[in-house]
Every structure is written in C-alpha cells, then in structure tokens.
Structure 1
Amino acid sequence: MDRRRLISLAAVLAAPALMAAAPKKDDKKKTTVGTYVEIQTLTASVMRPGGKRGVMTVQTVLDVPDPKLRAKAESVVPRLRAAFVQTLQIYTAGMTPSMPPNPDVLGQALQRDADRVLGQKGAKLLLGTLLIN
C-alpha cells in the first residue's frame, strides 16, 4: 500500500518538470516554404465512362515572391481554397465522361480566382497533379 502512494506521489511531483521540458508544438500547420504557399488538395466529382461517378484531384501551389502579398495569401488560404474548389466543380460539371482534363484551361481559371481573391496580380498558380479516380 505504501509503495502505491510513493509511486503516485513521485508521478505527481515529476509531471510539472516533464511538462516544462517537453518541446512546444506549433498549433498552426506551416503552409509556406520559401516563396511558395501550399494549398490543400482540391477535389470534385466527375462522371466517368459508363455513367459512374469519379473524383478529380488537383494539387496546387501559389508562387508569391512579394513578401507582403505572400503574407496576405497565407492569411486567406481558406478563401483561396474555397474559390478554387468552386471553379473546379464548375469545370468538372462541364466535362464529358471520356474527356481528359485540360490543365491550360483549368490553370487559367484558377489563376483568375487567385488574382481576384488576393485583390492584385503577383501570385503565380502552379498546378501539380491532375488525377481522375
């Protein structure tokens, strides 16, 4: 019985020291590397040949060399992502089942959205992977 109390007391006394020594975690996920602002993967449903539904996945990154514009882009990432997803859904709704995605058309539409949300030009949209599953 005394051993249990001793172990409990040692655990209670050691807890604050262990908490202070633990490295602090940053709650915010870092979305920038250099001049790039990462946008989470975009998805939209698409019709596949045979009438089945599929998912189109697009990876995008913004290249923003201007530090002030990059700070603004980092703060409005959710608005950028919402605008990109809406444009992607409109684009995929107009696709025929056997039509492959056109990265030029999609890239231009997403670039217009980026310029509109940021309020000025200066950020370049980079498309990564276009995948239909």
Structure 2
Amino acid sequence: MDRRLFLIASVAAGGIPRAALAAGAEKKEAGGGNYVPIQTLMGTTLRGNGRRGVLSVDCGLEIPDAALRTRAEQSAPRLRAAYLQTVQAYAAGLGPTALPNAEYIASALQRQTDAVLGRPGARLLLGGIVAN
C-alpha cells in the first residue's frame, strides 16, 4: 500500500492528530514542581599538556516555598551570572592534575544563591561535575 494514501486516509479519519495531542498533553515537568533547573555552567581550565580544558557543572535549585521559587525564576539571569563567575574563577585556579572539589563548589554556589535571592530557603542540588 502506498504510504501517502495511508497517511491521508488516517489524517482524514482523525487518527494521527488526536494521538499527537494526547501525547503532548501528558508531558511531565522534569524535577517536579519545586525544582528550578539551571543551564550547564562551564569554566576554562588548563590541562597537564598545556592545552585548555573545560570544567562543567550541572545543577538546579530545590525551593519548596512558592514565593521564593517565583523570585528565583525571575532572578534566573542574575543567578546564572553569579554561578558562572564562581565556576570560572574556580576553574581558572584549578591545577592541571587536580580534581574538582564538589563540596567547595556546592558551598560556593549555595552562598551565591542565598546572596542573590536575599534569604535562605533554596537548596542547591549538584547534578554532576566533569573536568575535561
């Protein structure tokens, strides 16, 4: 059977658009309702061979308070700028053979979070740290 005729017949019968609409309506937000995702943060490092490398940090915020979550979503560019400044400064000082310190990065980013939002209540969650 010709595929074009099959597609035309199924669209005319209403089969494909209904299935597409039903699949789109079931889309779930990643991380739940209290989670605010942050784009991947990157900083430049130096490798042992003298070439440049990348320090990549994946993170997000868990904020149970709705008012603070709204403030965090509105302040996302300021949060990202503060995070980038912290990660880039840390990556620039990272030695060629040194491994990144996850505890230090998490505490530094948490301090930036509290400073930008103006009060504690948002918890920084680290997804992954990759030094390449």
Shared fold (TM-score greater than 0.5)?
A: yes
C-alpha contact (below 8 Å) 1:31/1:39 kept by paired residues: no
Structure-1 separation of matches of 2:104 and 2:118:
21
1:55 paired residue number: 54
Aligned equivalent of 1:79: 78
Q: Which amino acid aligns with 1:115?
A: D
Alignment pair present for 1:111 and 2:100: no
- For 1:78-117, what per-residue CA distance to the aligned partner results, in whole angstroms no more than 9, with x for missing partners? 1100100000011111111000000000100000000000
Taking only the aligned residue pairs, the percentage that are identical comes to 48
Larger-gyration structure (1/2)? 1
Q: Deviation at 1:49?
A: 1.2
State whether structure 2 residue 126 is matched by structure 1 residue 127. Answer: yes
CA distance in 2, matches of 1:45, 1:121: 30
Measure the CA separation in 2 of the matches of 1:112 and 1:84.
10
> CA separation in 1, counterparts of 2:67 and 2:90?
31
Q: Where do 5+ consecutive residues of structure 1 fail to align?
A: 1-22, 24-29
| Secondary structure in 1 matching 2:42 | strand
Q: Deviations over 1:38-93 (max 9, x none)?
A: 00000111111111100111100100010000000010111100100000011111
In the alignment, residue 43 of structure 1 is paired with which amino acid?
A: M
Over aligned residue pairs, what C-alpha RMSD do you find? 1.6
Residue 40 of structure 2 corresponds to residue 67 of structure 1: no
Moved over 4 A (4+): none
User: Separation in 2 of the partners of 1:96 and 1:31?
Assistant: 35
Deviation at 1:31, TM superposition (A): 8.6
Q: What SS does structure 2 have at the residue aligned with 1:33?
A: coil
